[in-house]
Amino acid sequence: MSNSIHGKGVIVTGASLGLGHAVARACLREGADVFLCARDKDAIESVRAKFANEFGAPRVFAMGADVSDPASVRDLIDQACQRLPNLLGIVNNAGVLGPKGSLESVDSTEWMRTIQINLFGTMLCCQEVLPILRRAKYGKIVNLSGGGATAPMPNLSAYAASKAAVVRLTETLAVECAGDHIDVNAVAPGALNTRMLREVLEAGPAAVGKPYYDRSIRQKEEGGASIERAAGLCVFLLSKESDGITGKLISAVWDPWEQLPQRRDKLQSTDVYTLRRIVPKDRGLDWE
């Protein structure tokens, strides 16, 4: 990675642990100034102090924030802009796995809360940061999606629905922002060994289903996907190297994202790395 985000400001939500923590560290290593947030104020302050000691206090800031609350998000973006005058963009990583079980068995309040955090939280952060990026006529928004966006996830319906919606929101914003040179992309980080994996294992096969539980056991034993590679993709999508790549859902594990700058023009003229309806002729079927 080049130093194209050096001296730029990046907001990372859900940064107290897991992928958000890894993304923040990767941005700091590339020379960016980072504003961290998480719901747990004590946890995010502890991370800030650790990073400040490692990378330098003037380069890392933090506050507690609930991304599902409009007032909290407004305060977050306002505080971040005061600390990061050269704001480049945001990584919307904050999210939850939500209730586990068949749709008719889960608590509807928990289901809706998952949508509030994963979808509304992403939307609110985009809504507040976009005017700043539009004034600058440049910026980057990276939204975290995942496997739930591209395939059914039985017994995790709130998570799957929210992540699919995040991808469509990403694609839509990319079109809305094209005239202002603001790139908006979604990332599928892969099956990471993070808090969400622990939740699945603690819930057990009765809640999440035996096939998914068994896959999660294998994932734990094998180590899961590389969290550093997922963080690297986020940094790439923040960098100038990715300029003009927008409206895509990119897998950290399966897609050759390091080579995308060489394929930029062809990529943007196709529906590759997007969510689209499959019709019979796409599968060689003549049903007309």
Predicted local distance difference test score (pLDDT) of residue 2:
55
Q: In CATH, what is the architecture of 9-190+226-276?
A: 3-Layer(aba) Sandwich (3.40)
pTM above 0.85, yes or no: yes
Query: Is 212 one of the annotated active-site residues of the chain?
Result: no
Task: Give me the tens of pLDDT residue by residue for the chain, a chain 288 residues long.
Answer: 455 899 999 999 999 999 999 999 999 999 999 999 999 999 999 999 999 999 987 899 999 999 999 999 999 999 999 999 999 999 999 999 999 999 999 999 999 999 999 999 999 999 999 999 999 999 999 999 977 789 999 999 999 999 999 999 999 999 999 999 999 999 999 999 899 999 999 999 999 999 998 999 999 999 999 999 999 999 999 999 999 999 999 999 999 999 999 999 999 999 999 999 999 999 999 997
Q: Which two tokens stand for residue 20?
A: 């958000």
Query: Which residue in the block uniquely carries the two structure tokens 């945001």?
Result: 90
Ranges of each domain in the chain: 9-190+226-276, 191-224
Contacts 24+ apart (CB under 8 A), 194-199: 194/17, 194/18, 194/19, 194/227, 195/17, 195/18, 196/18, 196/97, 197/224, 199/97, 199/100
Predicted local distance difference test score (pLDDT) of residue 224:
92
> Which of the following is catalytic: 138, 159, 212, 213?
159
Predicted local distance difference test score (pLDDT) of residue 57:
78
Q: How far apart are CA 39 and CA 184, in angstroms?
A: 24
